[in-house]
Each structure stands twice: as C-alpha cells, then as structure tokens.
Amino acid sequence: MKLFEKVLIANRGEIALRILRACKEMGIKTVAIHSTADETSKHVRLADESVCIGPPSAKDSYLKMSAIISAAEVTGADAIHPGFGFLSENAAFAQMVEEHGITFIGPTPQHITMMGDKITAKKTMIDLGVPVVPGTEGAVNVDNAIEWANKIGYPVIVKATSGGGGKGMKVATSDEEVVNAVRLAGVEAKANFGNDEVYMERYLRRPRHIEIQVVADTHGNAVNLGERDCSIQRRHQKVWEEAPSPALAQDQRRTLGDIVNKAMKKMGYRGVGTLEFLFEDGQFFFMEMNTRIQVEHPVTEMVTGIDLIKEQIMIAAGHPLSFKQEDIKITGHAIECRINAEDPETFAPSPGKVIAYHTPGGFGVRVDSHVYGGYVVPPHYDSMVAKLIVHGKNREEAMQKVKRCLDEYIVDGIKTTIPLHRMLVDNPDMRKGDYDIHWLEKHLKKDA
C-alpha cells in the first residue's frame, strides 16, 4: 500500500516542524504554508515548497480554508496534516479537504462534529459505556440553571458546549452565583466560539486531569498507548505533563484502557485521539475528546517508542496499525515542560527577537522547537516556543533530568517560563507527585 506523494502542513511553529521531519523520514515531500509574519520560520525554510497564504492575522491566514485548499491544489499536495489548534478540529475544513479529493490526516468530519460539541460528546460516551461527570442532559439557560444546579449539587461548573482552553467556564457555589455564571459563560462562549450554548456539571474539588492516548485505523483496530497526567495547569492551560501518571495504580490504568478501546471500536474511530478525564477518589469522569494530535504527545512517544505523527500518516493512507495492544509496553517515565514566551511572574506575552538560543541535550532529552538564534517571535499567535521532553528509567530520574536541562537551557532576548519550571521541579509536592488541577494556581497566589 502506497503512502502520500506530498503533504501540505496546515500549521506553524514547532508542530509544523515536527510533521515536516516525520514526512521527510518517510520519503514524503512537504509543503509549508505561512503568513507574512512566519516567512523566516524554520519549517518554511526546510520544506520542499512553501506558500504564503496571507497577512499575520490568523483569521486571514491559518484559519482561511479557501487559501489553504488553493495552496494544496497549486502545489499538487495529495494530503493535508492540520497539526493542533487552528483548523485541526474543524469538521467543515475536514469535509472541504475531502471534497477536493485531498486526504485529511485526521478523523472523519462526522467524528470531529460529534466530539466537538461537548453535550453530544457526553451523550455519545454514556451510550458507549464511558463514565461521565454528573451534569445536565443538554444546554442550560438562566431560566433552568437553579433547578439543574440543585439537582446536580453545588459546587457546579458551567461550560461552553463548543468550548476549550478554559474559555466560557464559570464555577458557582450558590443559586445566586449560578444564574450569573450561566449568563457570563454564555457571553464569553459567544465571543470566543460564536455559540452561546452552555451546559453544567458537578465541580470536583481536587481532581487530577488524566488523559488517555488512542490510535485507531480503518480496519477495526483500536489501541491505547497509556495515560498522561496533565494536572499542572494555569487558567485551564496545561503547563507540565507526564507519563505515566504518578497517581494511578496498574489496575486503574488497565480498566480505563479497556473501556476506551471498546468505545473507540464501537465508534469506528479513525486516526489518533485523546480522551480526557477527571480523576478523583478512584473514579474517572469523561470530560472531552480531542480529535487531533495533542501538544503533549511526545511524552507518550518517549515511554512507548511509537511515533504518533508517522502513525497518523500511515492510518490516513489506509494502512492498518503497526502494533497491537499486547505490543504496547510503557517503559520508564517522561515529563514535558511547555516553554512559553511569557513573563514567568505576570504571564504577559513576551514576543521579540531571540538573541541567543541554546537547547539542552544528553541521553533521553528531546526539545521540540522552531526557535533559533535571531528568530523573531511574532506577537500574533500562541506564545509556546518550545517543549522540553525528558525520559528517565523512573520518575525520580526524569525529575533530576528536567532540573539539569532547565539549568542548561538558554533563551536570551525574550522572557520565558523556564523559571516557572525551575520552581516546579524543586517543589516538594511536585517531587512527590502530590498535586491536582488547582495546585499551580493556588501555589502562584500564595507566592504573589
């Protein structure tokens, strides 16, 4: 079975470079798209071809479907990889790609739509036997908010049905608060997603954020590659991820993996995906499914030895999975630190020219980044500029390796969140793996 001749990478930054490298190793030609602000980006320089698709604004470039399709047609690309963010979970874009006779390297538009709406996703998972957080059966509004909140039990959290990244989310602890929470979440959801629908769930007080990586092909095979712990978050944005989770026992991860595998097979899912759960008092509660490659996919690659981007491409080309569930062995421990171009104290964006850039190295060390000395970090996009990923034979060794690598990492000219990660790796709670999704924000407030 053949692979693709040419893949257009519909993204930017480190994930675009990650996809480009995988394609080159597979003998596939690459097309980089870019805005005028990204003309000197590393993946643009390394691609076989590049096409400028618009000005810096994402809505006029990386989110402009017609321009991306035109770039694919002009260059003769027979597949498009969307990466993460931008149009990666846009069902209309996936449908448009397929209608133009180009392969979308991702799930079907139907599955993207199904999992893109949080209420539909929750109903689907209930039908598939996946445990969910108690909550409303559909959208909630100011008229029935109090009734539902009392039925669920306070505290509750109101979420945008089309949301993500912490947008359109409000916590309420009383009848008075819940009406206002629904109103504010709806306004925020409308502004960010063009949809003001919200729903309500029980708010768990000290949960961990556990997600499980799945891979499924078009031949009826579905395999999970273990879990990642993504509980260290600020404003619902992940900061630090690790695999496996220090909070789970072997029987718990096996049980969750079996549930997820069965659900994906019943769905007929295609491609890579991540099911995200809250974990508290020994119970898992499904939150959402991301129908794309995740930012934190490298920690799974480090402990399994499986290249998820290459597997994505193979699946999209019609190949069966190159492994079975019994082939998956979790070896050692991996940690990823997201390094953003931000002030580590105020978290204000810090775009600008990188004067000097030196990445750490050594056994079991990986840095995914598009940055180089002289590169100008533009102010128009997400502030993540690098991911430091390490692998050790156990968690203690991985933590020591993170500490050593952070001391080696040099980024001059802009501010980064490297000092934040230095604080994390030295913290006693972090050393013990004793944290939850609220831990970092509480710790930052305490130090303020």
Q: Are residues 384 and 245 in the same domain?
A: yes
CATH number of the CATH domain containing 146: 3.30.1490.20
CB 162, CB 117: distance < 8 Å: yes
Is 122 part of a structural domain of the chain?
no
Q: Are residues 214 and 195 in the same domain?
A: no
Is 149 part of a structural domain of the chain?
yes
Is 378 part of a structural domain of the chain?
yes
**Domain with 174 in it:** 134-202
Residue of 148, 141, 195, 145 whose CA lies nearest to 167: 195
**Distance (Å, rounded) from C-alpha 101 to C-alpha 79?**
9
Q: Are residues 85 and 170 in the same domain?
A: no
Q: Are residues 13 and 145 in the same domain?
A: no
Predicted pLDDT of residue 293: 98
The catalytic residue among 292, 338, 366, 395 is 292
CA distances from 275 to 102, 178, 284, 347, 352 (A): 27, 28, 11, 28, 36
Q: Are residues 70 and 92 in the same domain?
A: yes
Counting Cβ atoms within 10 Å, is residue 63 exposed (0-12), middle (13-18) or buried (19+)?
A: middle
Is 437 part of a structural domain of the chain?
yes
Predicted pLDDT of residue 138: 86
Predicted pLDDT of residue 8: 98
**Distance (Å, rounded) from C-alpha 182 to C-alpha 184?**
6
Residue linked to tokens 């643009």: 44
Q: Are residues 324 and 389 in the same domain?
A: yes
Q: Are residues 188 and 216 in the same domain?
A: no
Asked which of 202, 222, 248 is the last residue of a domain, the reply is 202
CATH number of the CATH domain containing 91: 3.40.50.20
Q: Are residues 342 and 309 in the same domain?
A: yes
Look at strands 198-202 and 208-216 and give their pairing. unpaired
What is the secondary structure of 284-342 as a DSSP string? EEEEEEE-S--TTHHHHHHHH---HHHHHHHHHTTPPPS--GGG----SEEEEEEEESB
Is 228 part of a structural domain of the chain?
yes
Q: Are residues 232 and 138 in the same domain?
A: no
Q: Are residues 101 and 144 in the same domain?
A: no
Residue of 314, 250, 315, 263 whose CA lies nearest to 289: 263
Quote the pTM value.
0.92
Number of domains composing the chain: 3
For 357, the 3-state DSSP assignment is strand
Is 77 part of a structural domain of the chain?
yes
Q: Are residues 197 and 308 in the same domain?
A: no
Predicted pLDDT of residue 448: 62
Asked which of 155, 170, 202 is the last residue of a domain, the reply is 202
pLDDT in tens, the chain (448 residues): 689 999 999 999 999 999 999 999 999 999 999 999 999 999 999 999 999 999 999 999 999 999 999 999 999 999 999 999 999 999 999 999 999 999 999 999 999 999 999 889 999 999 999 999 899 988 999 999 999 999 999 999 999 988 776 788 999 999 999 999 999 999 999 998 889 999 999 999 899 999 999 999 999 999 999 999 999 999 889 999 999 999 999 999 999 999 999 999 999 999 999 999 999 999 999 999 999 999 999 999 999 999 999 999 999 999 999 999 999 999 999 999 999 999 999 999 999 999 999 999 999 999 999 999 999 999 999 999 999 999 999 999 999 999 999 999 999 999 999 999 999 999 999 999 999 999 999 998 877 6
Q: Are residues 297 and 399 in the same domain?
A: yes
**Which regions of 86-173 does DSSP assign to beta strands (E)?**
103-104, 156-160, 169-172
Is 401 part of a structural domain of the chain?
yes
Asked which of 105, 121, 142 is the last residue of a domain, the reply is 105
Catalytic residue flag (residue 292): yes
Is 121 part of a structural domain of the chain?
no
CA distances from 442 to 232, 424, 438 (A): 11, 13, 6
